[in-house]
Amino acid sequence: MSGFFKSSIGRKVAMALSAFFLMFFLLQHFAINLLSVFSGDLFNEVSHFMGTNWLIQFVMQPILIFGVVFHFVMGFVLEIRNKNARNISYVKNNGSANSTWMSRNMIWSGAAILAFIILHFIDFWFPEINTKFIQGDWSGIHEGVDGYRYFHELQEKFVSPIRVGAYILAFVFLALHLLHGFTSAFQSMGASTIRKKRLQTIGKIYSIVLPLGFIFIALYHHLNH
């Protein structure tokens, strides 16, 4: 197994698999958050289930955190190795002519997304961990608020235009990152040229629609709090 990760192909495959996992999570996360636009009660019910189900909390959540850390660490390792390998060839060749801006700047879009994830954890995950595991409150009830607290807390986070602006900027970087990463992940798994063209179309739809959807949710709650 250690030899697998030491090889260039092995690292790219591992990176691709972690990307697939995170892209699926993004889709699931978006679907749940989109419920908040249509029904606060339904969003509360689903959020409470996700936040109290033992399989999600004690199995899936640790796997997700590991997947996030692994993807970003592996991404930075690959970028540094690729940069070192390209240094000599770039003296003779124009890098911008051989690759897209997005592919050459994945490390920066990835760093911006990582900064956003830290902000997102501070906004939602850390308070949730404090409430459930430190205070021992798994009820999901917020004093003074009818029903579960999740919808109310979501709205409160999007009151500040500065925070909303930070979220929007982060989702723009996410779109840029996905525009290259989506196709690259399938290519690392051996997608054919014909499939690659189809995947590029699917990737563009996914990479643009999903971040725009998250931006819409943030703006909706900011304007309707």
Which one has a higher pLDDT value, 72 or 81? 72
| 207: pLDDT strictly greater than 90 | yes
Domain count, the chain: 1
Cα–Cα distance for residue pair 195/174, rounded to 1 Å: 23
Which one has a higher pLDDT value, 131 or 8? 131
Q: What is the pLDDT of residue 220?
A: 97
Q: What is the pLDDT of residues 190-201, one digit of tens each?
A: 666 557 778 888
| 165: pLDDT strictly greater than 90 | yes
Question: Which of 104-113, 132-141, 159-168, 199-208 shows the lowest per-residue confidence on average (mean pLDDT)?
Answer: 104-113
Which one has a higher pLDDT value, 207 or 185? 207
Q: Is 92 exposed, middle or buried (0-12, 13-18, 19+ CB in 10 A)?
A: exposed
Question: Which of 48-57, 67-76, 77-86, 91-100 shows the lowest per-residue confidence on average (mean pLDDT)?
Answer: 91-100
* Orientation angle between helical segments 193-223 and 8-38, nearest 10 degrees: 40
Cα–Cα distance for residue pair 186/172, rounded to 1 Å: 22
* pTM tops 0.75, yes or no: yes
Give the range of the structural domain holding residue 11, as residue numbers without chain letter: 2-223
Q: What is the pLDDT of residue 96?
A: 52
